[in-house]
Structure 1
Amino acid sequence: MVAVFGGPQIPSIPVTEISDDTYLLDVREDAEWAAGHAPGAHHLPMMELPGRLAEVPKDRDVAVICRSGGRSAHVVAHLVQNGWDQVRNVDGGMYEWAAAGRPVIGEDGQPGQVV
């Protein structure tokens, strides 16, 4: 759990505990996504979230990821406040994802990088 600016505790999950069944929501900007993202992740930039909430499932585990964990923590807080109860912030974000040896691909399907 992580506190966001003295606010409520944000549920979190280590990269190593994310299963293939988890809905991985990447909230980074388009250029970050294009440079490198997790295979199978769903891209929804943080600033577009309010208008696209219906795209985020409520009936399964959702792990929210950004570059380092800050933006995704804010998204998790917003989702929790709006009725999601199976949502967690990915500890360390894409930096930790890559450091743990998890695959990162670019928009073209080739090996990518976290920017």
Structure 2
Amino acid sequence: MRRPPAISAAEAVRLVEHGALVVDVRRQFEWNRVHIPGAVHAPLEELLDRCLEFPDDRLLITFCTGGIRSAGAANLLVENGFDAVNMSGSLVHWRGAGGSLTAR
């Protein structure tokens, strides 16, 4: 089994600019508070059921608050044939790297 790498928020911002898709695996209340524009919200407990919704021709970048759920999500996606990596760091790191956020 190939373990997907963890990438920094700065690398994630760069990859999104080149077509990668962020998959946010946080819970609904976390997503409602603030999220990355253009990200797909797929809570970890729904991820396997939602795999058919994801493009198979783009890099998927998994994200959560602390990195544990998103690491598991990246592993799950790789095991199901997707090209996926895990973004380490929080939304603070994403914003610090120049990424935008959407707040409700």
**TM value normalised by structure 2:** 0.83
* Counterpart for residue 75 of structure 2: 77
Q: CA RMSD in A?
A: 1.9
Please, which moves more after superposition, 9-18 or 40-49?
A: 9-18
Taking CA–CA contacts closer than 8 Å with sequence separation of 6 or more, which of the two structures ends up with the larger relative contact order? 2
* Counterpart for residue 97 of structure 1: 94
Which structure has greater helix proportion? 2
Q: Of the candidates 42, 50, 53, which is equivalent to residue 52 of structure 1?
A: 50
Question: Given the alignment of the two structures, is residue 66 of structure 1 paired with residue 88 of structure 2, yes or no?
Answer: no
Deviation at 1:52, TM superposition (A): 1.1
User: Is the contact between residue 68 and residue 95 of structure 1 (CA under 8 Å) also seen in structure 2?
Assistant: no
Q: Counterparts of 1:45 and 1:38 in 2: how far apart (Å)?
A: 14
Q: Counterparts of 2:66 and 2:42 in 1: how far apart (Å)?
A: 16
User: Is the contact between residue 2 and residue 78 of structure 2 (CA under 8 Å) also seen in structure 1?
Assistant: no
User: Is the contact between residue 62 and residue 86 of structure 2 (CA under 8 Å) also seen in structure 1?
Assistant: yes
Identity %: 35
User: Is the contact between residue 27 and residue 65 of structure 1 (CA under 8 Å) also seen in structure 2?
Assistant: yes
**TM value normalised by structure 1:** 0.76
Q: Counterparts of 1:53 and 1:29 in 2: how far apart (Å)?
A: 17
Q: Counterparts of 2:85 and 2:54 in 1: how far apart (Å)?
A: 13
Give 5+ residue unaligned stretches, structure 1.
1-6, 109-115
The code of the aligned residue for 2:91 comes to: M
Count how many residue pairs are aligned between Structure 1 and Structure 2: 100
Give 5+ residue unaligned stretches, structure 2.
none
